[in-house]
Amino acid sequence: MTTTPPTRRHLGTALAAAALTVSALLGAAPAHADTAATPPVLTDGFGLTQVGTPEVHSATDFTITVTTPQLAGTHKIRIFLPSGYAADPAKRWPVAYFLHGGPGTPDDAAAVPALHDDSMITITPDGGLKGWYANWVMQNTVVGAANWRTFHLDQVVPFIDANLRTLPDRSHRAVIGVSMGGYGALRYAENRPELFGHTVSFSGGIDFGLPAIRAAVLATELNVIGAMCGASSSVPGAGPCADYGPVVDSDAIFGSPYPVFNADHIWNEVNPADPANLARLANTDVTLYTGNNDTIEHFTEIAANNVKSRLDRLGIPSRYVDYGNGASLSPACAGTHSYTCFAPAVADYIPHLKAAFAAAG
């Protein structure tokens, strides 16, 4: 957060605006292999079956590949361990789940060095090119089974707790995400408050009440970026033609987006900015980050402001960081929707999360 049917052209203006900039969601730093390292051996379970050989990037950075009936195909999970994980076999660690943007992959985590912190385990599961961290309404599209929420919350989380020395309680578990993953992070914390005590959205599409945010979701479903193949990217290595994969129906993920006779009821039910959903964050540590210096960030700033003001009205404490053109955040950040801003924003947030984990005991 891809050609539209004639009946949906009234969203064309917002869709085009989203399409021109949404390709900035990509961006990953290259992994550095260390074949001498041996990662922990993980045991299948909770519906996940490991396939192939783990990709070992270093002694504390490896990737497994799994299959699950909840999703078609194979899916990677990248794991960062603290440097002291092997040396202290009695110690348990807090966990941060990092949700990438679209059309990203778990390897996007390598573009955010702050995620690999010695005070916590970080898990980056595949979120799909356009999974939107949801159980799709349509399960018979060209992409096949697409129950991303079930995969992450009912399979990956217990799988990690069973295989790694985690502190398996909400006070020591965070969900954080960028862009599409920012939506997923806030929505997962609302949907399963018993799992996550901490959530942060970095430039997330977190208000489905905004037509431009809905248009961005439609852009990924219809692969407007790939079809246009002309949008520029501010992320090194992303290229000019971000590809969201095969075109699916515009109703595939959340059903009809049109507010006619309650046709868009699913969009409303899963809208993170809905006050009824925000009320579920009453005991959650909530943080919002955004810039405002390109088209997408213009709308993520509006969405973040809406969420912040509604949390305030509900009396729910939250942190809000609007870094504008990026000057206050990092010399590399121009306030745009890219990892040149996401990475320093995460680095700014991690000390807060470490302190919160430490305060939890």
C-alpha–C-alpha distance, residues 187 and 313, integer Å: 19
pLDDT for 226 equals: 56
Question: 338, 326 in Cβ contact below 8 A?
Answer: no
* Mean pLDDT calculated for residue range 177-192: 98
Average of per-residue pLDDT across 112-118: 98
pLDDT tier at 224 (50, 70, 90 boundaries)? Answer: confident
Handedness of CA 252, 254, 258, 261 (dihedral sign): positive
Site of tokens 């404490």: 317
Residue 6 has pLDDT above 50, yes or no: no
Global confidence as pTM: 0.89
Residue-wise over 232-245: b if at least 16 C-beta within 10 A, else e? ebbbeebeeebbbb
**What is the average pLDDT across 261-283?**
98
Taking the C-alpha atoms of residue 310 and residue 315, their distance in angstroms, rounded to an integer, is 9
Task: Give the pLDDT confidence score for residue 39 in this predicted structure.
Answer: 87
CATH numbers and ranges of domains, the chain: 6-359 (3.40.50.1820)
What band does 22 get if pLDDT is binned at 50, 70 and 90?
very low
Going by C-alpha positions, the residue among 17, 15, 20, 21 that lies closest to residue 3 is 15
Predicted pLDDT at 222 = 94
Mean pLDDT score of the chain: 88
Which of 111, 108, 79, 110 is CA-nearest to residue 96?
Answer: 79
Q: CB-based burial of residue 56 (10 Å sphere; 0-12 exposed, 13-18 middle, 19+ buried)? A: middle
Segment 281-300, tens digit of pLDDT:
999 999 999 999 999 999 99
Q: Which of the two residues, 9 and 314, has the higher pLDDT score?
A: 314
Band of residue 63 on the pLDDT scale cut at 50, 70, 90:
very high
Given pLDDT bands bounded at 50, 70 and 90, which one contains residue 243?
confident
Share of the chain above pLDDT 90, in %: 83
Bridge-partner residues for 51, per DSSP? 65
- Residues 339 and 238 sit within 8 Å (Cβ to Cβ): no
The closest alpha carbon to 198, from 120, 109, 111, 91, belongs to: 120
* For residue 230, pLDDT beyond 80: no
For the segment 127-146, what is each residue's pLDDT rounded down to a tens digit? 999 999 999 999 999 999 99
Size of the chain, expressed as the number of residues it contains: 361
Residue pLDDT, tens place only, 66-80? 999 999 999 999 999
Of all residues in the chain, the percent with pLDDT exceeding 70 is: 85
Q: Are 180 and 127 in contact (CB under 8 A)?
A: yes
Give the pLDDT confidence of 28-39 residue by residue, as tens digits. Answer: 333 333 344 688
Integer Cα distance of 335 and 134 in angstroms: 28
pLDDT at 241: 58
Is the pLDDT at 49 greater than 70? The verdict is yes
Spatial separation of the C-alpha atoms in residues 216 and 196, rounded to whole Å: 27
Average pLDDT over residues 269-286: 98
pLDDT at 2: 32
